[in-house]
Structure 1
Amino acid sequence: MHMKLGPGGAKKVKRDKDLISQLPDDILISIISCLSTTDAVRTSLLSRRWRNLYRFLPLEIKLDCYYLLKHADFGIKTSISSQRWRSVHGFLSRIESLCGNFLAENSLHNPKLIINSVDEFLKLRSGSKIHSFRLHCCLDGSVNDRFEHCISSLGRLGVEELCLTCCCSYSDTSDLSFSCHLFSEMPSLKYLRLSKCSLQPSSRIQYNSLQTLVLMFVEVSRGAIECILSNCLKLQSLSINCCKCPHKLSVRGPHLELKRLYIDGCQGVGEIELYASNLILFQFDARKMVNLRFDHVPQLQSMILYVVENIVPYVFGRLPIDVPHLKSMHFVTAGDSLQVSNGHTGIDTLSNLRRLDVNMNLSKMNLLSLVLILRRCPLLQEFGLNTNGMGNEPEVEEQPIVFHSELKKMEIGGFNGTKNEMEFALYILKSAINLVEMHISRCCKVYLKSREGPGTWISIQRIPWSKNKYKTIHERLQGQAVSKTAQVIIQ
């Protein structure tokens, strides 16, 4: 705005042309999203052009039974700031008045009342955008049709992240049916977590943008996984956790982009067929080993196996034949032990393995027997071992020194300082001619699994060594490495 003197000295105001307001809505909304919530709401006062633009900012909604039917504010909790919450309070007031008759019936977990409440909320958001929608409510098969209508509404609202838990009880599940054709109703969906319902295949499913799928406590019908993999062409991560599944799971599909597969604690699975040309990580957790068929996994680099029984014969028998190009291997077992007889284990060569982590029953085993594993992993660079406190001291049999030129890092967790453990540590120091670091810790290092993606390494504290024990360990191991670059870290 400029001011200049007019005739007679009067001030004349010249207003600049409002070029910003002439921009398209999507650009203006993008500009508003960069402001604080308070300032974004204040833009509605600029002119009629700006009045409703702030309402189109994407929301992250969380709903459950209690908040839908009991909470004074109708319980729509968002992960946005309190200021933005006030900006949508007008929506909430209207929803509360619409649902007053539902509250009067005092039925907290009534599926029909819940789905009606959800439907009313989605109607009030018509024309705007919901980025993330999380629903944790009691729904069942009686509302299947209404539920599908709500999914269609979410699709029109551009939902990208959807988390559905269809039962509030920890132990129960719902008979609500989630059909695979519903993926087609949400074209912008990238992440879906589905829990406590059934998953049904469908011939009506079409192309969609789903990238991550997490199934938890879901009854997976025959053909449902195959249906998803054949049509969700951008899917990169699939997690199937604590689900009821068909005996055979077939992970294959044309142009499959799947990179990460997690199967944890599922009932009924006896065979898993893997034909996935882009798969790089496979994690499997079960009571007993199942029949794994690696028909075509040329990119598979990392495998994590948590199996209580019958895992050792597979890891050191069939696995090197099935996946000879594997580079990282981590296996945990509570029931198996590495049985050694006359210096032979039947271990096949893991010729490309670079990282190996072992967590198993070693209480009655001569740790020097693990040397046989090292000999069959010629390119191994990192070796992690958890001794789990070691029980009775087994008889230690010496092993001839065989140099390991590739081993750079050795980690031993749960170290007690027994003769068995000390002899194994000394063997590594004298045989790993290019060792860079040996890390010995009283703590036990474990891999904490995640049901939605890669896990993390954590250390479990143990009773510390006494001063004399620490001194003994330090004196025995320091200065014993043949590698001039080796550091021995005793923690």
Structure 2
Amino acid sequence: MTRGKANIHLSAQAISHGAKDRLSNLPDDILLTILERLDIRDTARTSLLSRQWRQMPTMLNKLVIKVSTFEPKKDERSEITLDDLARANATMHEATKNILSGRRNFRQYPLHLLCLEFYLGDESNSIVQTVGCTMDTLMVGEVEFTILTKKEQAHCSEDDVVLYGQQLMSLFKVCPNAFGGLTRLKLENVSLNEPDLPIIFSVCQRLEFLRLDNCDTGILSSLEVEHPRLGELEMDDCRFDRVHLKWLPKLTMLTFGMWISQQDPLSFGYVPLLKSLSVANICLSYHKMLKLSDFLDNVTISSLQLNFKSEKIWVLPEGPKELLPVFRKLRVVDLVNISEECDLNWTLFILQGAPFLEELHITVRDHFCEMMMDEELRAQYAYSKEKKGVDWEGANGFKHHKLVVLKIFGFRPEDMFVRYVRSVIKAAVNLKDVFLFNKVVCEMCKHDVPKASRSPWPKKQRFSLRNRITSGTDSFVVIHFPNLSSN
């Protein structure tokens, strides 16, 4: 039990025994701070404590109401029946309606954030209508909808995602003013008609953040995105042939993961403020290698993350002449989930092409619990049979003057890793710190990795590694061996 919940529990006990309720004597702002730390179910229970507590939930300036609070406790969504999910949605609607309707008597308390997570279904119409009525009568700051489907992606058929798409558009028609006030929207597992996403963009005029998981407008269709206020866009596992960011004058952050197109899956129109780009993909046999000089032709980002999902490298190393126009403002690069089969020398092409790069982060790991290990399934889904690494030879004697930090997660005390770090140290003449982390593991695959591979190195081994790395370099770089808390 958390401290806030314990205090409220004790306060209820005190009232039931006729004792003085010391917690209720606290100022309202402190009581509201306590309530904000609770989920909506516990917040509602506090109304039983006293008359003062009864009005507290209607005074909160932040309301986060999640349908998961009302679900049966199961490890997986697939273990919960559809009837249970419908009941959870209905119960959430009642809680939302009661709290929001009560705010009409407390207009002096502004609602800065209203965050709702619910399932698509007949019950979701009532939830959205309740929010729409609130927005008609009260000032609401930021409004976020996370709209879940009753089946998770792994259990969705083509018919399911089409049905969910129809339900979503019906929801928009039921209460467009609620969606018109949204600032954040998260959608999953919906297949829409081609005009539907442009309709969503046109209705959600206040939208600043959008996340799409496993969404499309028909397999291998194209999508053009235009929006005056959208600042963050996340798209993962969306089956478009091509996405064109035509006009997004406020976009600063883009996350784009997993595509099926045989061409460049993404193109940039007017995105003058785009600073941070994160791209992830599993390279299949039909995917082309991305040339970053072409892919990023119309943007100048400062932060770039490339996630290779422990499979084949899908970027083509290029020379500094080609990369300088798109890398001239690049400050931080994060190369994630490079397979343990790969040599790291190819990554130096980024260092040579980005003269103002300040930090380079590299994660080397075979993430077994996410990788496709079955050979028959790899063939069925067209996983690449080529070697996972790429070959590249850089210019001899190259010097970099801005890099100050190198981080390697999944470092191993092998010659290949030592040679790579030495290469960076020799090239980056102003490098200050090198952080070498042991193997990165998640909770699911933790027991498949020997403990020695994810534990801190002994002091004697750390001393030996420092000598092997810095010997003969005349560098004052500091070598760190941090311990990962997840280990």
TM bucket (normalised to shorter chain) is 0.5 to 0.7
Amino acid at match of 1:82: T
- Over 3 Å counting, the alpha-carbon distance change for 1:169 and 1:271 in structure 2 is closer
Superposed, which structure 2 residues align to 1:228-247 within 5 Å?
A: 228-246=200-218, 247=221
CA shift digits 1:159-214 (9 cap, x unpaired):
6645465765555665634443566534xxxxx8xxxxxxxxxxxxxxx4432222
The reply on whether 1:490 has 2:457 as its aligned counterpart is no
Residue equivalent to 2:362: 385
Q: Tell which structure's C-alpha radius of gyration is larger.
A: 1
- Over 3 Å counting, the alpha-carbon distance change for 1:300 and 1:478 in structure 2 is same
The reply on whether 1:426 has 2:422 as its aligned counterpart is yes
Residue equivalent to 1:282: 254
Give the SS at the match of 1:348: helix
The reply on whether 1:473 has 2:449 as its aligned counterpart is no
Residue equivalent to 1:316: 292
The reply on whether 1:210 has 2:210 as its aligned counterpart is no
Superposed, which structure 2 residues align to 1:85-484 within 5 Å?
A: 87=51, 114=90, 121=98, 125=102, 127-128=104-105, 131=111, 132=114, 134=116, 136=118, 139-140=121-122, 149-156=129-136, 158=138, 161=143, 163=145, 165=147, 170=152, 171=155, 176-177=167-168, 178-180=170-172, 184-186=176-178, 208-246=180-218, 247-253=221-227, 256-266=228-238, 268-274=239-245, 275-288=247-260, 291-309=265-283, 313-323=289-299, 325-333=300-308, 334-337=310-313, 348-349=323-324, 350-361=327-338, 363-388=340-365, 400-444=396-440, 462-465=454-457, 469-478=461-470, 480-484=472-476
Amino acid at match of 2:280: Y
Amino acid at match of 1:374: L
- Over 3 Å counting, the alpha-carbon distance change for 1:373 and 1:120 in structure 2 is closer
| Bigger fraction of residues in helix | 2
Pick one of 68, 74, 77 that aligns with 2:41: 77
Taking the aligned partners of 1:411 and 1:145, their CA distance within structure 2 comes to 48
- Over 3 Å counting, the alpha-carbon distance change for 1:358 and 1:245 in structure 2 is same
Give the SS at the match of 2:282: strand
Kindly indicate whether the alpha-carbon contact (under 8 Å) linking 1:368 and 1:399 is maintained by their aligned counterparts in 2: no
| Bigger fraction of residues in strand | 1
Amino acid at match of 2:266: L
The offset of 1:120, in angstroms, is 8.0
Give the SS at the match of 1:374: helix
Give the SS at the match of 2:297: helix
Structure 1 residue ranges without an equivalent (≥5):
1-34, 42-58, 64-75, 91-106, 187-191, 193-207, 447-459
Give the SS at the match of 1:440: strand
Amino acid at match of 1:379: F
Amino acid at match of 2:207: L
- Over 3 Å counting, the alpha-carbon distance change for 1:145 and 1:411 in structure 2 is closer
Kindly indicate whether the alpha-carbon contact (under 8 Å) linking 1:381 and 1:408 is maintained by their aligned counterparts in 2: yes
- Paired residue total: 376
Kindly indicate whether the alpha-carbon contact (under 8 Å) linking 2:144 and 2:183 is maintained by their aligned counterparts in 1: no
Kindly indicate whether the alpha-carbon contact (under 8 Å) linking 2:312 and 2:389 is maintained by their aligned counterparts in 1: no
Identity %: 15
- Over 3 Å counting, the alpha-carbon distance change for 1:229 and 1:402 in structure 2 is same
Question: Quick check: 300-309 or 378-387, which moved more?
Answer: 378-387
Structure 2 residue ranges without an equivalent (≥5):
1-21, 29-34, 56-82, 368-386, 443-451, 483-487
The offset of 1:280, in angstroms, is 1.1
TM-score with structure 1 setting the length: 0.61
Question: Quick check: 122-131 or 211-220, which moved more?
Answer: 122-131
Kindly indicate whether the alpha-carbon contact (under 8 Å) linking 2:128 and 2:175 is maintained by their aligned counterparts in 1: no
